[in-house]
Every structure is written in structure tokens, then in C-alpha cells.
Amino acid sequence: MKKGIGNMTRVEVLFLGTTASIPTPKRNHPAIYFRYVGKHEYCMLFDCGEGTQRQIFLAKENFMKLNEIFITHWHADHYAGLLGLIETMSLEKRSSPLHVFAPEATRFLNTLLSVGYGIRKFQVIAHDVPFKGKEVTKILEKEEYEIFSIPVKHGIPAVAYCFKEKDRVKIDKAKAKALGLPSQSVLYKKLKKEGRVEYKGRLVKLEDVSYIEAGKKVVYSGDTEACDNLIKLATNADLLILDCTYFEDVKERNHLNVYEAIEIASQANVKKLVLTHISRRYQDEREIERVVRELAKNFDFDVIIAKDFMRIELK
């Protein structure tokens, strides 16, 4: 990749829980702590299974930095940690709003928060995410990135999410130098803002010395069967995180097996695939690693089995 002018951005993905419906001594319920570092730092959570706040403590992360939580569907292993996390935020005197996105968010979040006698001094705002149809929906936009969703197939309302960093205009240093431009950040900022700049009698247009750097793309699906919607959302992702409940050719409704997950990643042309939501039946890590190694020989993307507290960084 070309080197240009501008700050490096990065995405950090921390797996807090990687089991399926029932936890194990090594695997907690599903949750992903997601950090984007650009002009500012943004932290968010994807799914929030039972025990998530304790996993955050063990990982030495800060749950108070979370501004958004994205729930894929309302099965307990994907949301049961929400109430405890929100109560702890309240005890720690949180004042800023917390935004929770999910299919049927208003219905279920309001019910969840009505349990018990907790007192909150901050808003918890529910955002309903579409769970029918075949359209990709933009559900959140920030200065540097967007979050999209699409319905998936799980027998109940469920969605997959996509984090997409906005494409960035970069200055090609070699082209700029060839046109006589000095290495001055102020000059380049003006060029990016106005689209052209005059320097020593020469008019230089942005398109003459720039290129587009595609933004990083991460897609996460909770529980789902194979479906076209998932491939549509995941196309050309840098990182695809998929439900992989089974490491055998099990054709069970509502979940993926390893063969289906790898096929989806192949059709979507992703760069890296992480398999998570792993059934407790697989206690021998070496055996599932052997299965994945054998299958991955036939594909040109990385395939990784998620583990609790595993971190992946994209730059």
C-alpha cells in the first residue's frame, strides 16, 4: 500500500466471549469489545452475554468508554450481561447516554431495564434495527466511520453488523514532490479542503497528487444460517467474524458449521475469517484446529479460531 500524508488509523477487536449457548471453563458468552482509533478514540460493544463486564475487567479495558452496544438478537447468551453492565455503569456515576442497537430494541430493552429497583442517572437509548428484508441499512454515522446492518436467518429476529471506516483521501508524496510541492502539512490540508492549491505560480489539483485509501471493514454476525444477506454485507471485508457452532458437517437450523462459514468467507472475498460461538462439545482445541488447518489449505484468506481475550488489530 502506498504511504501518504495523514494519521494512521487502527481497529482493535477484543474477543471477550467465544462460546455458544452454554459457557465453559475456557469460553464465556459472546461479546466483542471494539475500538476504533482515528482522530478520536471510539469504543463499542457487539453483543453482551452473561459475564461480559467481568471479562472487560479481566482484559483491563474500560467499560465506561462504551458509547454504543450492538445486540445481534435476543437470545440470552447474547444479551444477558446487559443489565449488570448498565447497573455497574450507574454505580460508577456514568452521566453520558448509552445507545443500544438491536432488532426490537425498544420492546426488549425497556422490559429488561424495568427489572428490579436499580436507579440510573443516565439515559439508555434504544435504537430499533430492521430485521426483515434484504437491504443493508446504515444505522449510525460518525465523522470517520459508519455502522450498517442487515437481517440474517436465525428463526427469530436477528441481524449482522458492519463497521466501515470511511475512505480516506491520501497524498501521494512522490507525485507531490514531482510537481514541486514541499512536505508541508498545512499546504496539504488546504489542498484536501479546497481541492486545489497554488504554489509558486503552479496550480495543483487534488486529483493530481492523491489517491483513495479504502477504509477498513469489519463484519460480525451472531447466530445465523448461511444466507445471501450475510455474503452481501461481508463482501470484501478485511475481517469477518462468524458463528461457527459446529466443526462437523452438521446441518442444524439457525447456526453455521465450519464448512459453511468458510464457504461464505470465500464467496464474500474476505481477507481474514474468525470463527466464534463454538459449541461446548468441542473441548479438544487441537482437533478443531486440525480441521480448520485442513480446510484452510484450499483458500487464500486466513482462518482463525477465536479464543477468549484474543485481540486482532487492523491498521
Residue 181 φ/ψ, nearest 5 degrees: -80, 140
Residue found under cell 497528487 = 209
Q: How many CA atoms lie within 13 A of 66 on its CB side?
A: 29
Q: Which three cell numbers stand for residue 29?
A: 458468552
* 56 Cβ neighbours under 8 A, 6+ residues apart: 16, 33, 62, 63
Question: Helices in 216-280 by DSSP H: which ranges?
Answer: 228-234, 258-268
Return d(Cα 216, Cα 271) in angstroms, integer.
11
Q: Does residue 302 have an active-site annotation?
A: no
Contact 276, 306 (CB under 8 A): yes
Which residues touch 212 (CB under 8 Å, ≥6 apart)? 167, 168, 169, 170
> Catalytic site residues?
77
